[in-house]
Structure 1
């Protein structure tokens, strides 16, 4: 019996979007506020949220890899995309949304 990929794809799509947004907020809002406005609490809060979303993104990429039988290359690119600003938005648009 085949597993329905739709729920896994939907979860990955949502988390990829949230992870990308949290990364941008961390880089372009929280970090400048920490260093230029002396507000270190912002990086702690946003950093913890981003860390949780990052871990969820990795888990969900692995789940979708199993469900959709992604190649090692495609999985590695999806995981590496989480390390680059706007990377998860690209993966979301090119691979997840169009499946």
Structure 2
């Protein structure tokens, strides 16, 4: 469960870096290299987070409802932080 909490913070941070730093640099400053670095890192963390979330349903008794909320939260900026604070800290 500690790993899921840690990965949720990393995944949320990578999404924020991608959305608020890398993409604006690509679009406004014509610097696409940051998206090509941060994008795959975020993709890997996103997949890892959701795999760990699915595993936590069977291993740690996380409800399917909470897992679905976690998936949706991983799609939203700041969502992973809120999910960790409001739901993961209960387990």
TM-score bracket relative to the smaller structure: over 0.9
Q: TM-score, normalised by structure 1?
A: 0.87
Q: In the aligned structure 2, how far is the partner of 1:98 from the partner of 1:77?
A: 14
Q: What is the match of residue 42 of structure 1?
A: 34
What is the root-mean-square deviation of aligned Cα atoms in Å? 1.0
Deviations 1:55-80 (A, max 9, x none): 10001101111122233222111111
Aligned match of 2:51 in 42, 53, 59? 59
Higher helix share: 2
How far apart are residue 97 of structure 1 and its match? Answer: 2.2
Structure 2, unaligned stretches of length 5 or more? none
Structure 1, unaligned stretches of length 5 or more? 1-8
